[in-house]
Structure 1
């Protein structure tokens, strides 16, 4: 199976909340780094985070671009999220680098565009630039 096919299976497993497939696709020593907190999660932490997320939200990946460069898949996508309890939805632009080793996801570098989170945090706050 090509690394592009493995990447496709990986994102489908996230959408479906398929923890068994995620565990199978990750290397045992995999790391998952996020730009929003600078922390690298272990395989177990990454899978647990995705399982917890799938319990409260439905997600769908809308592929924008994907490139395979050597042992790395570089992908830009929008993740469409709908909260199960409220139906609230959000679209988050993401760029991700998946580095492979021996047919497994060995490391992920994930860059989420959090600009909308900042905008929502300040929504309704008076324009401070006029002061």
Structure 2
């Protein structure tokens, strides 16, 4: 499961949306604590696919994975740069994996630092 988690996030960071899509169930739900919204597969893939357009640099730092029943936990620091400004945002995700594909993601992070980056 840890290898699966590492592969998934490598694909996200590389912008390989087609490969990410193949790891999702068709009815995957991706929920975020900061807006309490569940994204569909298509919505989430669009969000991930637009990362390169929204940031000058995007990376995951300090990744940590823990296999748990039914999936894994992922902790990392999202590092972004845009217009000469940067932010480092700690995050944790609970990822539910069923039949070898991701069924649900619950992502938790403080959006304040990201909002500050976009405000200017």
Note the C-alpha offset of 1:48: 0.4
What is aligned with 2:17? 19
> What CA RMSD, in Å, does the superposition of the two structures yield over aligned residues?
1.9
Q: What secondary structure is seen at the aligned counterpart in 1 of 2:50?
A: helix
Change (3 A) 1:16 1:108: same
Larger strand share, 1 or 2: 2
Q: Is the 8 A contact 2:87 2:113 kept in 1?
A: no
Structure 1, unpaired ranges of 5+: 122-131
Which of 106, 109, 120 is matched with 1:109 structurally? Answer: 106
> TM-score scaled to structure 2, two decimals?
0.86
1:10-46 Cα distance to aligned partner (Å, 9 max, x none): 1111111111111111111100000000000001100
Note the C-alpha offset of 1:116: 3.5
Q: What secondary structure is seen at the aligned counterpart in 1 of 2:31?
A: strand
| Structure-2 separation of matches of 1:36 and 1:81 | 18
> TM-score scaled to structure 1, two decimals?
0.79
Note the C-alpha offset of 1:56: 2.4
| Structure-1 separation of matches of 2:18 and 2:9 | 13
Across the two proteins, how many residue pairs are aligned to each other?
116
Note the C-alpha offset of 1:6: 1.9
Shift >3 Å, 4+ stretches: 115-118
| Structure-2 separation of matches of 1:110 and 1:31 | 11
